Structure 1
């Protein structure tokens, strides 16, 4: 993907500024003309309104009709002129002689301008002409008496310079607004560019395209199936591994993107995740006879669930790997304990050799050998499966290492079982013993008893400890994956026990009281090797 000449931030800033500037300049051209015309029209209307007011004033009508004092007209006209802010207010009789003027010396003299003839013939209008006060916009209004006879006229003038100043001021305001708008647009463009860059994590378009290609390649190459849905539970993404697993289950919907998740995968609970907003981790999902191990997590944006993603894999593959790892860990644990105990004994022997206590050494070795052979012989007579017996012997060494007593008893010797049973038994018994040893860690009397009984092809294993026991609340949660009273990164043992029992169609009973220890009994269908016992 080739890198662009401009960065995303510069591109957005330049283009937004250009659009804002162009739109405001065009608007300025269109609005300026209209505002100038309106400004001139407003000045014209102002003059006309003052002229009409003067024409309707009784004092002026009476003075022109010969019924009032003509001298009072000058004072009244000047008051109106100053109050309205016009250049002049002139009242003239039918001969064009002024009764008022801003310059008292011009009162009684003829009106100047030559544009007053029409008003003396009863017509109201506006004109532009040169008078004694300079060039002005003039509004003429005829004055009629009570009988409807014209007795004079009113002329109100506004300096053209004032008219032009008003229009220019309007244009200046528009220009200032345009400049401020362009500056605001530029600031907004910079802010928008930075904001977009921020939400894109500082990535340029070419980098986003590259990430999209890499994301697609990764999703299609992983072995886990991946399905994503939007907030309406419609599919937005399905990778090849997911399509393969769904096809393996006999579901063959073409082009699943855009379809409802339950139409494509009926057993999915992604809709529930969308509703609750809570993840569902390591859940088993049945899909037309195929068991999947699924993780479902919501996609949350600004505190709102906007979608969900499910990743899943055929549980058969995971179970095979987990069984191998669990078995290896338990075997290694037992061997480590035996090795540690054996090294301790070798150190004792080495010390006695150095001190030349040969007679005591012979007795010590005889005692160790006798105890060891007796221990091995006792377990071997009770447990016919050599792998299981060796594992149990290793657990005895581990218990001694931790300062605890581990005792095995049998009601009836346990015959050698099928190979798959041995592995499951090691998982079940090993985790139960480990839990019991942990339970007695702080007890004054650290003892764990394991009792085997076999009959009617049912193997019974009871593990009892002298620990502190469990409350009802803890008992209700002990099978939850990840739950533990011993801290984080624990809580997997009893979950594995339950899984193994489920595969063997076995059962479990737990009896526990706080301060009185715990007893766990498991019942497992157990066929001896070759069908003999």
Structure 2
């Protein structure tokens, strides 16, 4: 069974502790080595000072010279042990705490030594430097153990060149180690404190790392980064990530295309409220909202982001931006088609009744009455729309559409009429844009007429077409009996502006989108939608005009006479 793998934060903690331990141990070891060397040097200097003192003593010089001249056979351990030189060396050793004080003759034979049995014998270490008149210090191992020692020459009385022996003084290395241990205790305490502090700091850093990574392992973070990059670049919708402090953390290409297509600025890391993006992004509530950005209608949704595994830790919010321009246009076109279908269904019953009447007259063989009835139907039209003069349109689509709108207007107490200047020679070739634009203008005019203070509620639409080398252009004029617009009417095309809202701005309910959208549709074709007259409560309501190139084709009957 495979052992469970340690978490990344745990591995970082252990690695930090290992590094700190290695540094502390290396530092402590270096300090101990330097301390040992320093204490050894101090012991050598001390041994050198004691050796010089002993070698400069007149009694030692005189006695060494006498013993150096004595035959070797007489230098027995018993005779030397009873001599004054041995007593002097012993007293010096006891007084200074040295490990040994040794005196030799010029041949290196021991004349004084802490071990009486070794008197008269050759020393264990090389005395040649001292016997040659020099001084030396070293740390060597002799018969009494490891020691820091010094060797100096002993000159004959009254001479500074004649060497009659040498003095060797040594201090035990155990004393050096003991001194080092006395000095190393504070170092050990400091090292232990350093390790404890390192443990606390590493633990805090590990905890901080877990919070920053949300408990994820590096492999998981790498996978999430790859997935995020794939998702952000693979979706058409705009995605904006915002941290808790209002800073943009994610801004994909879809968001740039929908919100700032002309900007090359890197928005990541910038405050959302001060980066130049539309202001509504920083004032979003939960739930979808509809806004107009430039020539696009977008649906913006804001959702908070939390991590439940950390006690619902808030991370910020994510904003989704979806392009609804074409959907909005198709929706308005569909609404117009539905209105037409509703009107046709409403007239179906009347149409069927008329044919039943004709069939009944024929069944009774009252052909004269049936003929008169059919003549009346032909004069008034097969369907009865409230709008008059629909025949001026000369286009079945416009007749049916405006007729359906007249039924809706009639139900709301508004008269929809055809302007006297209406003249249509062609037939609609692009009903979708015509439906969206004309339907929006008529709906707004009907609503304004209903809300107006004039007792006579009406909407008038005038339709004209002209034909040139580049195709046919449809001109629309829609007026109403409402109270008009505020100012010169330019504010009505501001994205989010709505006359249905007391403040004029209504980004939540979806109002304030239609006119910017239809203007976008018209300008996309090379045309436009504008306010010809803002109107007033004492005259008439607003007058809107639209120019739609390429939406109408000249009919054959007019082409023949052109």
User: What TM-score, normalized by structure 2, do the two folds share?
Assistant: 0.48
Partner of residue 512, structure 1: 534
Partner of residue 475, structure 2: 460
2:187 to 168, 174, 193: 174
Please give the alpha-carbon distance, in whole angstroms, between the structure 2 residues aligned to 1:166 and 1:441: 107
Please give the alpha-carbon distance, in whole angstroms, between the structure 1 residues aligned to 2:346 and 2:183: 98
Please give the alpha-carbon distance, in whole angstroms, between the structure 2 residues aligned to 1:532 and 1:36: 120
2:521 to 476, 500, 520: 500
2:262 to 242, 264, 269: 269
User: Shift of the alpha carbon at 1:33?
Assistant: 3.7
Conserved? CA contact 1:409–1:450, under 8 Å: yes
User: Shift of the alpha carbon at 1:405?
Assistant: 4.5
1:326 to 322, 332, 345: 332
Please give the alpha-carbon distance, in whole angstroms, between the structure 2 residues aligned to 1:321 and 1:201: 40
Please give the alpha-carbon distance, in whole angstroms, between the structure 1 residues aligned to 2:409 and 2:37: 104
Alignment deviations for residues 46-72 of structure 1 (CA, whole Å, 9 cap, x no partner): x9xxxxxxxxxxxxxxxxxxxxxxxxx
Name which of structure 1's ranges 428-437 and 508-517 shifts more when overlaid on structure 2.
Answer: 508-517
Please give the alpha-carbon distance, in whole angstroms, between the structure 1 residues aligned to 2:477 and 2:198: 79
Question: Which structure 2 segments of 5+ residues have no match?
Answer: 47-56, 59-90, 102-136, 138-172, 240-249, 279-290, 300-319, 350-379, 468-472, 499-503
Alignment deviations for residues 215-271 of structure 1 (CA, whole Å, 9 cap, x no partner): 455467546899xxxxxxxxx9999x9xxxxxxxxxxxxxxxxxxx9xxxxx97342
User: Shift of the alpha carbon at 1:452?
Assistant: 0.9
Alignment deviations for residues 80-135 of structure 1 (CA, whole Å, 9 cap, x no partner): xxxxxxxxxxxxxx99xxxxxxxxxxxxxx9954999xxxxxxxxx9xxxxxxxxx
Q: 1:204–1:531: structure 2 CA closer, same or farther, 3 Å change rule? A: farther
* Root-mean-square deviation (Å): 5.9
1:278 to 272, 276, 279: 276
Q: 1:188–1:487: structure 2 CA closer, same or farther, 3 Å change rule? A: same
Q: 1:480–1:31: structure 2 CA closer, same or farther, 3 Å change rule? A: farther
User: Shift of the alpha carbon at 1:6?
Assistant: 2.1
Please give the alpha-carbon distance, in whole angstroms, between the structure 2 residues aligned to 1:3 and 1:237: 42
Larger radius of gyration: 2
Conserved? CA contact 1:36–1:171, under 8 Å: no
Partner of residue 421, structure 2: 411
Partner of residue 425, structure 1: 434
Partner of residue 396, structure 1: 406
Question: Which structure 1 segments of 5+ residues have no match?
Answer: 48-93, 96-109, 117-125, 127-159, 227-235, 242-260, 262-266, 286-291, 296-310, 344-369
Partner of residue 264, structure 1: none
User: What is the aligned residue count?
Assistant: 358
Please give the alpha-carbon distance, in whole angstroms, between the structure 2 residues aligned to 1:406 and 1:39: 115
User: Shift of the alpha carbon at 1:408?
Assistant: 3.5
User: Shift of the alpha carbon at 1:425?
Assistant: 1.6
Please give the alpha-carbon distance, in whole angstroms, between the structure 1 residues aligned to 2:294 and 2:183: 75
User: Shift of the alpha carbon at 1:35?
Assistant: 5.4
Please give the alpha-carbon distance, in whole angstroms, between the structure 2 residues aligned to 1:28 and 1:337: 98
Conserved? CA contact 2:329–2:517, under 8 Å: no
Conserved? CA contact 1:451–1:462, under 8 Å: yes
Conserved? CA contact 1:470–1:518, under 8 Å: no
Please give the alpha-carbon distance, in whole angstroms, between the structure 2 residues aligned to 1:383 and 1:500: 23
1:451 to 458, 461, 474: 461
Please give the alpha-carbon distance, in whole angstroms, between the structure 1 residues aligned to 2:31 and 2:548: 92
Q: 1:332–1:198: structure 2 CA closer, same or farther, 3 Å change rule? A: farther
Q: 1:21–1:273: structure 2 CA closer, same or farther, 3 Å change rule? A: closer
Conserved? CA contact 2:454–2:537, under 8 Å: no
1:197-216 alignment, distance < 5 Å: 197-215=210-228
Please give the alpha-carbon distance, in whole angstroms, between the structure 1 residues aligned to 2:505 and 2:338: 22
Please give the alpha-carbon distance, in whole angstroms, between the structure 1 residues aligned to 2:345 and 2:230: 48
Alignment deviations for residues 378-428 of structure 1 (CA, whole Å, 9 cap, x no partner): 2531333333333223323333454544444241343452321x2222111
Partner of residue 485, structure 2: 469
Q: 1:379–1:26: structure 2 CA closer, same or farther, 3 Å change rule? A: farther
Partner of residue 522, structure 1: 546
User: What TM-score, normalized by structure 1, do the two folds share?
Assistant: 0.50
Alignment deviations for residues 289-314 of structure 1 (CA, whole Å, 9 cap, x no partner): xxx9999xxxxxxxxxxxxxxx999x
Please give the alpha-carbon distance, in whole angstroms, between the structure 1 residues aligned to 2:190 and 2:330: 77
1:385 aligns with 2:395: yes
Please give the alpha-carbon distance, in whole angstroms, between the structure 2 residues aligned to 1:23 and 1:391: 88
Partner of residue 306, structure 1: none
Conserved? CA contact 2:386–2:410, under 8 Å: no
